[in-house]
Amino acid sequence: MRIEYSGYSYNSEKEFNGLSLFGVGNGTTIEYVQSYQGSDDAFEWFGGTVNAKYLVSINTHSSVGDDIFDWTEGWSGTGEYWYGKRTNDGNRGIEADNNSNNHNANPISNPTIKNLTLVGNNGGGENHAIKMRVGTNGSFDNVVLSNWGTGFDIQHNESVAFVTAGTLKATNVKFDNVVTRSKGQKTSPGKDSENKDIPGDIVDVSALYTVNDNATGAGNGVDQPTWAQGWTVGF
């Protein structure tokens, strides 16, 4: 299935994605779906346990593209064989949250992602391959990150603590033209005299990943995977 030219910013708090999954359980099968030139996130999970396999997102037009993959509010499924590419100044490859109102709210977002390729253009205001924040956990394996300013950006005490505990991790990662492989920042300790957030402490989160320059990501490194041939567009 291809979802083309979708997505819309209804207001500052509500945006429509290419494919939105609200509390979907793992009795549902999501496989072989492409989001093409979508103006908000290509795929977003709002809680649930659904697994998703063989997903593609490609954005090239200057007026489209928020994050490629996004999860929040306790999603704990498995993602396998994901390929995301943007040549425009869209946002992140993955933006991952637990719950912005209560970072410790259960269930905790904690998906397992295997065989992932994210290709950026090394530009735009949110030039991160993978941003994990507000208490999300998760694990990755066999990952290719290409053309990003930052590979892994970990924010807030709860997500940083998962890195320290060894549960938020990424094994077998290939970095290709990634300026900063990882960075971490703790939660803001409060407000300053102008009621602005005081920046949280910068922390080393490089323990979260292991490098493998032979990682294949979605199957063929930065190039079109074999499983995506014949039904996707934009490569």
- Asked if residue 233 belongs to a domain, the reply is no
Mean pLDDT along residues 18-36: 96
- Asked if residue 115 belongs to a domain, the reply is yes
* pLDDT band with cut points at 50, 70 and 90 for residue 17: confident
Mean pLDDT along residues 181-205: 93
- Asked if residue 235 belongs to a domain, the reply is no
* pLDDT band with cut points at 50, 70 and 90 for residue 83: very high
Pairing, β 139-155 against β 202-203? unpaired
- Asked if residue 44 belongs to a domain, the reply is yes
* pLDDT number for residue 109: 98
pLDDT at residue 13 greater than cutoff 80: no
Mean pLDDT along residues 187-200: 90
> Quick one: which of 49, 7, 61, 54 has its CA closest to 33?
54
User: Domain total for the chain?
Assistant: 1
* pLDDT number for residue 32: 98
* pLDDT number for residue 9: 66
Q: Which one has a higher pLDDT value, 39 or 106?
A: 106
* pLDDT band with cut points at 50, 70 and 90 for residue 65: low
**153-166 as b/e, with b when 16 or more CB fall inside 10 Å?**
bbbbbbbbebbeee
Count CB neighbours of 175 within 10 A: 21
- Asked if residue 153 belongs to a domain, the reply is yes
Both tokens of residue 175?
């970095």
* pLDDT number for residue 64: 66
Do 91 and 67 meet the contact criterion of CB atoms below 8 Å apart? yes
pLDDT at residue 219 greater than cutoff 90: yes
* pLDDT band with cut points at 50, 70 and 90 for residue 62: confident
Q: If you average pLDDT over every residue of the chain, what do you get? A: 93
* pLDDT band with cut points at 50, 70 and 90 for residue 11: low
- Asked if residue 59 belongs to a domain, the reply is yes
pTM of the predicted model as reported, rounded to 2 decimal places: 0.93
Query: What is the extent of the structural domain holding 35?
Result: 2-228
- Asked if residue 187 belongs to a domain, the reply is yes
- Asked if residue 86 belongs to a domain, the reply is yes
pLDDT at residue 14 greater than cutoff 90: no
pLDDT at residue 52 greater than cutoff 90: yes
* pLDDT number for residue 39: 80
